[in-house]
Amino acid sequence: MTKQLSLALAAAVSLTVASVFAAEKEQTITGKGVCAKCELSQTPKCQNAIQVTGKDGKTVTYLLEDNAVSKAFHSKVCKGPVEKVTATGTAKTEGGKQLFTATKIQ
């Protein structure tokens, strides 16, 4: 019984670790760049966001984490939306929101 419990616990831990590492895989997203505060009224202060339309037609809004790459790009989206923005980085879901840590934005 103890051995079965240990095996089940080990399997659960390995699945959790695998899903964490899979979530941190670098990816590229392309969509409309907007300011989450000025354009979307979703955040209390200015923050980059990229709205991506999926194959199902639904729009997913990625809030970009506040880092040097995101700060350098913000002046382009704060005065109005940019129709095509491509960002490379890692995505995660936190508190029901899609967050994206960009390593490159164009």
pLDDT digits (tens, 9 = 90+) for 73-83: 999 998 888 99
Point out which residues pair with 101 in neighbouring strands. 90
C-alpha distances out from residue 5 to 12, 31, 88, 98, Å: 11, 46, 41, 35
State the Cα angle at 89 between 21 and 39, rounded to 5°.
Answer: 125
Instruction: Give residue-wise pLDDT tens across range 27-74.
Output: 999 999 999 999 999 999 999 999 999 889 999 999 999 999 999 999
Domain ranges of the chain: 26-105
Locate 54 and state its tokens: 């999926």
pLDDT at 16 over 50: no
Domain 26-105: CATH architecture, name and number where available? Beta Barrel (2.40)
pLDDT at 18 over 50: no
